[in-house]
Structure 1
């Protein structure tokens, strides 16, 4: 998975030069689940360049500003589910990507605590999917980078969003309708499983974080064998907007207005998180 300057990805229109920048750190990459959301995020970029691909994983390149300095950033859709996340991540790894922040939607598993419109800072993921089983043993944990968890918390304070942000465990599944909403003949089994996760304190359910966390952990280990410092580290995190509450069977989804507001909050939080991560990386580079 180590960077290859000659690598040509199958599902992205990108080269290693596209992801370079930030003094060897590379671009800070935002990973929403849809191209539409990636396009919306990119409206906040300066110097926007779009590299289209017929599979819909269009790459949006640009900069944001922090303390009068530009930060090179990118946004690209991961697609839905861990198999798609795995494909896009691998291609980004090969192109030199090292900083990843997922922006996604999720359903609450704690309706009395995590409410529609809230945000979740994913600390780790329950691996209820098969993709990462091809990489690591069943008991291997899927963890976000501590640096990203901390940066998200600090960014929320700066933006006045701390009261809407919950930090903790999330559930990552392969099936949307069966596992979370009880469709199909295994209805009761799936409901019992989700109820168990609720009793274990898992905050929300989504479909991509465990692939992001596991693969980033593995690539981070590989990269650390090559050198020291922030340019030889992979960092990953995830911010999730709560747009569904399966416990309310009659009306489990947020309204369009609720969804729009929480996704806007999530995007602003993600961009502020990147600013803090970039400042941290710059400080760490200066001490080498």
Structure 2
């Protein structure tokens, strides 16, 4: 593990020496599971929700790190990983499907994100878009095809609040516009990356049905029938991890 004097303040990742490509996830346990896929995996820091590993995937050196739940905390990880040398970020997360025809365990490759994340509105005007690097979308799509994985492309809705409250959600409008899924961190990654000259993409495993179907009308703070702890989701996450790592390998190969 890195000594405190050689670590960045929030995440405790090393100040220098990290590989330049990273897979970022929400759950520290998921970070460990993805790291288990690597050769010579090493945990380099674990502070709060931020757990970081380095290792090699099929000859490509990578970082795997967790950012916790929600964009305000996640963007702190992105900032410190970038300071430590990361230049390409792929987020592997989970999401609730909005667009019809997207099933549990499927992968959503996000071309762009709706900026309802609760943090980027304080960093840059709302008119600034949250978009994936095109090469990241292409690499994720190719990796998904080569894996034979069911996948979809589209815009995702990044929303700060996990559970609905007393205010109406614009879910019907976003569904009518063809938004594919809802999650909590990706737009922050896209805005941070594009404003700092970095490469970012996102692949989200569907762990629930249409977001409106998960709301209990008698209890607006209930998550209803939401259950992400199912085999179909676990299989999708494992497959998605390999796809994200393969996409990093493809991106690395394209640079040479």
**TM-score for the superposition, normalised by structure 1:** 0.80
User: Which of structures 1 and 2 has the bigger CA Rg?
Assistant: 1
Please show how residues 243-262 of structure 1 align to structure 2 within 5 Å: 243-245=207-209, 246-249=211-214, 251-254=225-228, 256-262=230-236
Q: 2:155 aligns with which of 169, 172, 183?
A: 169
Secondary structure of 2:196 counterpart: helix
Once the two structures are superposed, residues 19-61 of structure 1 have per-residue CA deviations (whole angstroms, 9 ceiling, x without a partner) of 14xxxxx2x1110101000000000111111123331412111
User: Is residue 207 from structure 1 mapped to residue 196 from structure 2 by the alignment?
Assistant: no
Q: 1:88 corresponds to which residue? A: 77
CA distance in structure 1 between the aligned counterparts of 2:71 and 2:123, rounded to whole angstroms: 12
Q: 2:34 corresponds to which residue? A: 41
Following superposition, which runs of at least 4 residues in structure 1 exceed 6 angstroms of deviation?
Answer: none
Alpha carbons 2:14, 2:44 under 8 Å: kept:
no
Structure 1: segments with no counterpart, 5+ residues:
1-5, 21-25, 179-183, 221-233, 283-288
Q: 2:103 corresponds to which residue? A: 115
Secondary structure of 2:67 counterpart: coil
Please show how residues 26-37 of structure 1 align to structure 2 within 5 Å: 26=20, 28-37=21-30
Q: Per the alignment, do residues 80 and 252 of structure 1 end up closer, same or farther by CA in structure 2, a change over 3 Å counting? A: closer
Structure 2: segments with no counterpart, 5+ residues:
215-223
When the two chains are superposed, the root-mean-square deviation of aligned CA atoms in Å is: 1.7
Q: 1:74 corresponds to which residue? A: 63
Secondary structure of 2:82 counterpart: helix
CA distance in structure 1 between the aligned counterparts of 2:129 and 2:237, rounded to whole angstroms: 28
CA distance in structure 1 between the aligned counterparts of 2:56 and 2:166, rounded to whole angstroms: 49
Q: 1:147 aligns with which of 131, 135, 155?
A: 135
Report which of the two has the higher share of helix.
1
Once the two structures are superposed, residues 147-168 of structure 1 have per-residue CA deviations (whole angstroms, 9 ceiling, x without a partner) of 000001111111111xx11011
Report which of the two has the higher share of strand.
2
